[in-house]
């Protein structure tokens, strides 16, 4: 049986599944229920200075897919609206009662050294395992010079991280904002400041929809709205890319990464780990399905690891990083074309329509004697773009098959068609 226990940035946990700093970790009641369900750790919802933040109503909106499937949630909730004293007292008790679970405290105070110097000893006294610096909140708090307003300025990221390492002996995890041009810049700044790890991504600036009857975006507060933080399965591709960028950056090589963003299954978690994450945080999936989802996550990850021969998470964490590169290093002479399994094909024609209208006219529609159509790939026209495979509703009906071009490896750096190519 695979060992799911981890040591992340010096923090021990029985499994890599942690709840992210968000409404599900706002109070002891929620956190205890999460631990009872089997979560390996939590990041307590962001604490700040007193007086506590004041939230509005309503706070959430959603982006839906087919059949009202929630693809993403937009939220305009701020950091904790409970007093610092109450939160610290509850954190102390929960850690005492659950010593084997990772308990990280998220923090956000003004970008003033004295503010951090004051709050850090109070948090450390709770017995918490580490702190996470919330440099990502994209709404409400940046207007006060906190959250993403710090995370978007590398000098601030480095400075505050260094303050925390000076006034606190706990591991410092820096939570990065995705609302930035190059995530590596902020990660490098955190690394220079002495961060023990980074976590990403925080939520993405968004407006999910507009009420056209009342001409106001959602969520609506009275007759107004604002942008909020977008999370959920829809942000996973963005998060995976940013995790990979940090993992393969020579300047942050070896910096522990906690992956966040659209994780709702063991497979999602494994993908983040393959790209360099040593632990993962979950929020939206738990909000939609409840804390018990962690049972399937743990069981699925363990079974998959057993099937692959991985004894522990460290054995496959980062294994996909070396296969992730810049476009200019890809093999231009590599070629695949589509092949349709006629036995599996249901004759819907979606592959033909997509290719004919928007791609390379490489799938023929052949009318049969009985009035139905048969769809076949025109090999010489197929460029291997994968669009037909993506649009096909039948799993494994269309396969992308590698062709022997007889040509050697050639990347753009060395391609004679590149006016700046490097001569071999």
Query: Token pair of 215, please?
Result: 């001409």
Q: Are strands 60-64 and 70-75 parallel, antiparallel or unpaired?
A: antiparallel
CA–CA gap between residue 19 and residue 40 (Å, rounded) = 8
Cβ neighbours of 383 (radius 10 Å):
13
State residue 275 phi and psi, 5-degree precision: -95, 15
User: What is the residue-wise DSSP string for 153-165?
Assistant: -HHHHHHHHHHHH
Nearest by Cα to 44 from 100, 15, 86, 4: 86
Nearest by Cα to 202 from 151, 237, 268, 244: 151
Catalytic residue status for 137: yes
CA–CA gap between residue 151 and residue 17 (Å, rounded) = 25
Nearest by Cα to 190 from 168, 163, 162: 162
The residue from 111, 137, 351, 355 that is catalytic is 137
Widest distance between CA atoms in the chain: 82
3-state secondary structure 91-147: HHHHHHHCCCCEEEEEECCCCCHHHHHHHHHHHHCCCCCEEEEECCCCCCCHHHCCC
Active site members: 137
């Amino acid at each position: 049986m695979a060992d799911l226990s981890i040591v992340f940035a010096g923090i021990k946990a029985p499994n890599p599944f942690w709840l992210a700093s968000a409404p599900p970790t706002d109070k002891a009641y929620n956190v205890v229920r999460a631990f009872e369900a089997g979560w390996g750790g939590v990041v307590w919802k962001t604490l700040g200075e007193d007086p506590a933040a004041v939230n509005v109503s309503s706070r959430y909106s959603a982006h839906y897919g087919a059949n009202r499937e929630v693809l993403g949630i937009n939220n305009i909730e701020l950091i904790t609206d409970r007093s610092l004293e109450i939160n610290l007292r509850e954190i102390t008790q929960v850690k005492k009662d659950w010593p084997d679970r990772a308990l990280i405290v998220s923090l956000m105070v003004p970008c003033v050294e004295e503010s951090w110097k004051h709050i850090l000893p109070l948090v450390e006294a709770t017995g918490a395992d580490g702190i996470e610096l919330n440099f990502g909140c994209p709404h409400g708090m940046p207007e006060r010079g906190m959250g993403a307003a710090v995370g978007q300025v590398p000098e601030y990221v480095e400075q505050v991280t260094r303050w925390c390492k000076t006034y606190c002996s706990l591991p410092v995890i820096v939570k990065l904002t995705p609302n930035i041009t190059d995530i590596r810049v902020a990660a490098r700044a955190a690394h220079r400041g002495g961060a023990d790890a980074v976590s990403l991504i925080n939520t993405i600036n968004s407006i999910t929809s507009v009420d056209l009857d009342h001409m106001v975006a959602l969520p609506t507060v009275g007759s107004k709205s604002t942008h909020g933080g977008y999370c959920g399965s829809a942000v996973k591709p963005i998060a995976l890319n940013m995790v990979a960028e940090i993992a393969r950056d020579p300047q942050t090589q070896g910096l522990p990464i906690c992956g966040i963003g659209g994780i709702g299954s063991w497979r999602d978690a494994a993908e983040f780990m393959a790209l360099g994450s040593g632990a993962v945080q979950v929020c939206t999936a738990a909000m939609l399905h409840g804390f018990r989802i962690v049972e399937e996550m743990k069981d699925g990850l363990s079974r998959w690891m057993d099937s692959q021969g991985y004894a522990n998470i460290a054995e496959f964490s980062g294994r996909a990083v070396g296969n992730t590169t810049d476009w200019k290093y890809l093999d231009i002479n590599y070629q695949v074309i589509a092949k349709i399994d006629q036995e599996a094909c249901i004759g819907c024609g979606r592959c033909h329509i997509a290719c004919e209208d928007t791609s390379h006219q490489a799938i023929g529609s052949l009318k049969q004697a009985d009035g139905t159509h048969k769809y076949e790939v025109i090999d010489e026209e197929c460029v291997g773009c994968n669009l037909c495979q993506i649009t096909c509703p039948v799993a494994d009906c269309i396969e992308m098959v590698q062709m022997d071009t007889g040509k050697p490896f050639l990347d753009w750096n060395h391609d004679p068609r590149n006016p700046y190519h490097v001569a071999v």
